[in-house]
Structure 1
Amino acid sequence: MPSVSHKLLSGATLRVIGFTIQILIAFFLSPYIIHTLGDRMYGFWVLIGTFIGYYGLLDFGLSTAVNRHIAGALGAKDDNTIRKVYSTAMPIFFGIGCIALLITVIIVIVSPWILTDPEEIPLFRAVILILGFNMAIDFLARVYIGTLQAQMNFHIVSFVQIAASLVRATLIVMALTAGYKILALAWISFFTTLASNMVYYYYARKKLPTLIFDIKSFSRSTATTLFSYSFFMMISQVANMLRFQVDVFVIASFLSLSAVTHYSIASTLVNYFNQLLGTIMSVFNPLFSQQEAAKEHEEIKETLFFATRISVAISSFVGFGMVAWGSPFIERWMGLEYQDAYPCLVVLVLGVLTFLWQTPAHSYIYATSKHKFLAVLNIIEGISNLLLSLVLVRYYGIFGVALGTFFSLSVSKLIVFPIYFAKVSSFLYAEYMKQLLLYVIKCGVALVVPFVITSFWIAADYAHLILVGLLSALFYALFSWVILLSKADRKILISAFLSVLNKV
């Protein structure tokens, strides 16, 4: 359908643009922030940010549940269900926000028992109060973001995120230049998030007039349905934190806050890599939900393999670039003293690739509510990562922590996940793995020329890095277009691209 392909391509394009802007901001801003605050205080800021990230567990996976059920209701053209989901979700999120505030107050009270340095307690309390209150407000806005995404209005969410990123970066530079420190960063985060949420609310109500809160439409059965889906999403969120966020606590406990800063260089780059693919491929989530609700089983199969080809193509090239150009990039970006982050970067990228190649299969499982075992698998993977990191950090430092993530991810995603996916879907295991391996091999062939270009011209300066990146991307795109994508793929992409141009 042209309208669907237009929404998918325009949404993915805008998300890539927005994400590219975030990366560019981080590229210019991170060295400035680190050198302005110093390794220790930047490590302190990363630690607080990771700590606040755990507030996300209070979501209980309800944001995804709301997105999934509204998308399904849209596919089934069921306005009554939309109203019930919205009127049920809002009071729940209000309660969650109150819980977030209560937890924040408790943390402020017990902060002397959390920190060992008495001089850092007032700062810790102030930042936690600001960011905790920020999270409480943010919970209410999640319904509106999920509603916009369920309608595939990705452009609105992208524009808001782009504007917020630019404003936040500008304010951070102004604040640090004026001599302000971490407290100012917290206030900037609060006000930019608040403004963004107000815009989400406005457009969600405008785009979906049936989104009207009615306390009479609150339904215990709807709440039960949302929680039955979200419970396992919450388990997956815990697993993601164990996989990607607990590392900084392990490093801070066994090494130092300065080591957290060094490791965060690698982990931040990999997180951007992970978010990039998630940002692009998440446009397929509501489509899977709508196709499932409409019982379009053949279309689901076509969508999944098409999305997998796109996911493998993008993730393979970005992963190659991070491994091939990571060392000179870190040297030029941060300095030679941060090169110990590069080995961590390599093993983290290799581990994450095993997941990113299969992002569409994960999207399908979550979009069709078949994620219960996957949630359990993820939590086992997260615990394995924590245990391995606790052991390996003693022998290999920050590299050992990265190894823990690599081993747990690889076993889970390459061995266990494909078996489960074949079991809960209409895809045969042999068929799925054969196609996935074929796509990876074709992308490997397409990377031969970029590898040669890198071998001859790479150097630790931005001019060479940009030139090598552009040339590599050009040749990789040409080879991938010919050997990876089918004629039908190329026709869909060209049609969607022309549709986007006509809309501009």
Structure 2
Amino acid sequence: MSSKFSLVLKSSGFRVLQTLVGIVIGLLMMPFLIQTLGKELYGLWIVIGSIVGTYYLLDLGFNQAVTRYVSKYIHQNNPDAANRIINTALVIYSILGVLVFLASIVAAYFGAESLMQNSEQLTLAQTILVIVGFSIALEFPAKAFPGIISAYMRYDYIAKIRMLKSVVDALCIYLLVSNGYGLISMALITLVTGLISTILFIRFSLGLFKGMQFDQKLIDLSTIKEVFHFSKWVFITDFSTMLREKMDIWFVAFYLGNIALTVYYVAIRLVEYAIQFLMQATGITGPIFTELYAKNENNKLKDAVMLFLKLDVALGLVAFSGFCILGSSFIEVWMKGAVPTNESFLCLLILIVGRLSIYFTSPINSLLMTLKKHHVISWLSIIEIIISALLCVLIIPVYGIYGAAVAMTVPLIVSRLITLPFLVKRYVELELFELLVRFSLVVVVHAVFLTFVYVEWIKGNSLDLAFIILSAPVVIVCSLVISFFLFNRQEIGLLKKKFTKNGFLNKVG
């Protein structure tokens, strides 16, 4: 096994572990915080988190572009060019960091009031916005260095830092909140641990790149044009993704208040955990598609796209089946009555359909990125956001949190499952009709399976934690067996070779 493939495997393993640790911490901390702080204050924390999350848009898409070019020049053994990009990016990100801090002050004193339900919350929200904004501002200069990590394939170190930060954050927050400290203490903890993790990241990056230099002469603003040409469509996609992930939170907070938002957010978090895990499992398509495209192996590229499409559908249906069968009982056990189970569960089922629409078609997104046609996704994302915003305004006041879930899901189904497959046919001829037939068959069988389980096994009863844990593997295995019919004989053979000595991933590595 090559050293490169070993690093890829090591990095992937730690990324999955980091995701699992984050999910476990989230599952433990969320009910604790809701019960300790109360639904209203926890809802305020959610709103603030969604606001400060928009600060990352000031990155302007440069992060991926800088990472791409720094990694490229290090691989080409051109340290001067890499240093030129890093030094220039360091200046730009330092300026952007100042803008982030100024934006947090503006948001605190000129924009927070519209989202607050009373004057007591306003002062608290303003303080937290400034603290968290300052924390994010301190992170921005470090965005000049991730290309070094990419070049040396040391994502495992980043995963370790983030995993350690998550654990320390959780322990400190638990101790302080348990002793009567509130949201400000939580914000200060994230500030301190964020600063420490940023320093560790920079030190490790500089240790990897022995040719690193810092010199004013290396600042070359003319390189920004080249970087921006790549980053502009990335920025549009990132902007629309951020809005998709935050917009319903803002609308629910505005129309329904923080208590309703907390109920809705339970569903959001479970959906996010599921999608994060699924993306870690199959989010490796970019390097594979790029290598096949570079070698002009178009038939193998098409086969790889179809294989990953089917893998995503298979794993996505496992997640959907698990939520349908065990989701309601899990929320009841998890939240211990802190939120209405049925309301959160229905929102969960609606939201997961929309997010799975994105996950199912993520190999097509990677393909379009490989072909430098990622503007298609950007335009689709913009249209999705506009329609979702209009639907939020129209139906949230009438249907509450259910309306929010529908508003975010319907445009994604139409865009990703119907429109995108037709658009991609302009660039690559994929066997999508075969996939549609197999998908329809598998969905019907899954529906029969879910109905049988619910009627004959669950029978509308609430399950305890032990039963949920024991039955989850059964649900997973049954769903995977049903999804087996998605694959043809050639794809099954390829999957068998996937992790063998001469398998597909080893060739890529």
- 1:491 is matched with 497
Shifted more, 9-18 versus 164-173: the winner is 9-18
Give the letter aligned to residue 487 of structure 1: G
Q: Distance in 1 between matches of 2:9 and 2:320?
A: 22
RMSD: 3.2
Once the two structures are superposed, the pairs formed by residues 76-475 of structure 1 within 5 Å of their partners are: 79=79, 81-110=81-110, 113-114=113-114, 115=116, 117-149=118-150, 151-286=152-287, 288-289=289-290, 300-301=301-302, 303-334=304-335, 335=337, 337-366=340-369, 369-424=372-427, 427-429=428-430, 431-432=431-432, 434-435=434-435, 438=438, 456-458=456-458, 459-475=462-478
Shifted more, 90-99 versus 473-482: the winner is 473-482
- 1:123-161 Cα offsets, whole Å, 9 max, x none, are 222211111011111222233345424543332222222
- 1:250-305 Cα offsets, whole Å, 9 max, x none, are 11222121111111111111122232233344444355456656666566445434
Q: Distance in 2 between matches of 1:44 and 1:341?
A: 18
Q: Distance in 1 between matches of 2:78 and 2:292?
A: 15
- 1:431-476 Cα offsets, whole Å, 9 max, x none, are 2453476468568768977876666554421111111112223455
Question: Between Structure 1 and Structure 2, how many residues are aligned?
Answer: 496
- 1:54 is matched with 54
Q: Distance in 1 between matches of 2:258 and 2:79?
A: 52
Give the letter aligned to residue 88 of structure 1: T
Contact 1:330 1:342 in 2 (8 A): yes
Q: Distance in 1 between matches of 2:2 and 2:437?
A: 30
Contact 1:76 1:294 in 2 (8 A): no
Shift of 1:63: 1.4
Shifted more, 306-315 versus 394-403: the winner is 306-315
Q: Secondary structure at the match of 1:246?
A: helix
- 1:93-118 Cα offsets, whole Å, 9 max, x none, are 11110111121233344368544633
Q: Distance in 2 between matches of 1:10 and 1:437?
A: 37
**Correspondence 1:65 to 2:65:** yes
The change in CA–CA distance for 1:89 and 1:423 in structure 2 (over 3 A counts) is: farther
Q: Secondary structure at the match of 1:492?
A: coil
Shift of 1:367: 5.1
Contact 1:10 1:155 in 2 (8 A): yes
Shift of 1:483: 7.0
Q: Secondary structure at the match of 1:152?
A: coil
Give the letter aligned to residue 471 of structure 1: V
Shift of 1:185: 0.9
Q: Distance in 1 between matches of 2:436 and 2:154?
A: 30
Q: Which runs of 5 or more residues in structure 1 are unaligned?
A: none
Identity of aligned residues (%): 26
TM value normalised by structure 1: 0.88
- 1:12-62 Cα offsets, whole Å, 9 max, x none, are 332222211111111111111001111111111101011111111111111
Shift of 1:66: 2.2
Q: Distance in 2 between matches of 1:440 and 1:196?
A: 47
The change in CA–CA distance for 1:196 and 1:282 in structure 2 (over 3 A counts) is: farther
The change in CA–CA distance for 1:93 and 1:19 in structure 2 (over 3 A counts) is: same
Contact 1:239 1:383 in 2 (8 A): no
Q: Distance in 2 between matches of 1:9 and 1:436?
A: 32
Q: Which runs of 5 or more residues in structure 2 are unaligned?
A: none
Shift of 1:91: 1.6
Shifted more, 4-13 versus 269-278: the winner is 4-13
Q: Distance in 2 between matches of 1:297 and 1:216?
A: 44
Shift of 1:64: 1.9
Q: Distance in 2 between matches of 1:166 and 1:402?
A: 31
Shift of 1:79: 4.8
Q: Distance in 1 between matches of 2:300 and 2:215?
A: 36
Q: Distance in 1 between matches of 2:78 and 2:439?
A: 38
Shifted more, 449-458 versus 112-121: the winner is 449-458
Q: Distance in 1 between matches of 2:106 and 2:215?
A: 33
Q: Distance in 1 between matches of 2:398 and 2:93?
A: 44
Q: Secondary structure at the match of 1:138?
A: helix
The change in CA–CA distance for 1:110 and 1:476 in structure 2 (over 3 A counts) is: closer
Q: Distance in 1 between matches of 2:5 and 2:299?
A: 17
The change in CA–CA distance for 1:448 and 1:149 in structure 2 (over 3 A counts) is: farther
